[in-house]
């Protein structure tokens, strides 16, 4: 099983006394050359007066953008601590037993605009950069990462089930190859008998599912049906229904998690 997550927009900086980034220590070392280039480009852009405009963020986030300038010197922490948005709060990937943590390190990957892809134990600094950015010196980040991620993730996913909890911008950076057992997780809200796609609640629910998958007993799901069966254990608590879409001719099968 490979659970793919987007990063959170909100990130918690490591303590100032923490050791800085060591690129050589990160997983998926085949991504190191592009990581180096993206870091250099982001540091340069973040020092510009128009940095917020170029990076597509509001002026209110100028302090976070300015922090990018010191990326190579800033304290770093495990990704499970740095990513601190709604999805990660629900997943609680920094609050796991040793056995569940080992499963999370093996089975969960965070797709990132800066790092390409990380395990939850990779040690990185907080940063501000989105996958939809057209970064000067690099270009559109989803396109830049597509080739390197194709090499790294296609090899990793061989024979495994892909549980895709990414948002659209991060899905654009890598598509599982034909023949992959691939499930796209979507969240629907039911109100007065009508269902609609939700965004904020979707992050929380995908986090709940991720935590369930790395903490539950028994073997990991091997296909879409086994994933739906595993998710059904959340019905009555976090969910009101789990629905698995039909087998498509190509692409991902859809798993709908229905919340009230």
Per-domain residue ranges of the chain? 2-259
Q: pLDDT 10s per residue in the chain (260 long)?
A: 999 999 999 899 999 899 999 999 999 999 999 999 999 999 999 999 999 999 999 999 999 999 999 999 999 999 999 999 999 999 999 999 999 999 999 999 999 999 999 999 999 999 999 999 999 999 999 999 999 999 999 999 988 999 999 999 999 999 999 999 999 999 999 888 888 888 778 999 999 999 999 999 999 999 999 999 999 999 999 999 999 999 999 999 999 999 98
| pLDDT of 181 | 97
Asked if residues 157 and 2 have their Cβ atoms less than 8 Å apart, the reply is: yes
136/132 Cα distance (integer angstroms): 13
Asked if residues 76 and 135 have their Cβ atoms less than 8 Å apart, the reply is: no
Cα–Cα nearest to 112, from 8, 188, 206: 8
* Look-up of token digits 């510009």: 48
Asked if residues 35 and 116 have their Cβ atoms less than 8 Å apart, the reply is: yes
109/95 Cα distance (integer angstroms): 17
Cα–Cα nearest to 160, from 99, 206, 227, 112: 227
- Phi/psi at 239 (5° precision): -125, 160
Q: Which helix (H) or strand (E) holds 193?
A: none
Cα–Cα nearest to 195, from 253, 243, 132: 243
| pLDDT of 176 | 97
Asked if residues 204 and 86 have their Cβ atoms less than 8 Å apart, the reply is: yes
């Amino acid at each position: 099983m490979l659970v793919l997550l987007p990063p959170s927009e909100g990130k918690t900086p490591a303590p100032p006394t923490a050791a800085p980034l060591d690129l050589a220590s990160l997983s998926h070392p085949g991504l190191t050359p592009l990581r180096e280039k993206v870091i250099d480009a982001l540091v340069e852009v973040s020092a510009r007066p128009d940095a917020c405009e170029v990076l597509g963020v509001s002026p209110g986030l100028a302090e976070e953008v300015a922090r990018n300038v010191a990326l190579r010197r800033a304290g770093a922490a495990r990704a499970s601590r740095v990513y601190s948005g709604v999805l990660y709060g629900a997943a609680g990937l920094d609050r796991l037993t040793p056995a569940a943590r080992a499963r999370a390190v093996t089975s969960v990957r965070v797709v990132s605009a800066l790092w390409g892809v990380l395990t939850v134990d990779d040690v990185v600094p907080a940063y501000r950069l989105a996958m939809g950015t057209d970064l000067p010196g690099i270009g559109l980040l989803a396109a830049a990462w597509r080739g390197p991620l194709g090499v790294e993730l296609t090899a990793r996913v061989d024979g495994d089930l892909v549980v895709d909890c990414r948002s659209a911008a991060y899905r654009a950076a890598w598509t599982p190859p034909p023949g992959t057992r691939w499930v796209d997780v979507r969240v629907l809200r039911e109100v007065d008998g009508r269902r609609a796609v939700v965004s904020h609640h979707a992050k929380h629910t995908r986090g709940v599912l991720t935590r369930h998958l790395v903490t539950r007993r028994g073997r990991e799901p091997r296909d879409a049906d086994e994933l739906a069966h595993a998710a059904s254990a959340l019905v009555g608590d976090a969910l009101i229904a789990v629905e698995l879409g039909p087998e498509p001719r190509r692409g991902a099968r859809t798993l709908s998690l229905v919340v009230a």
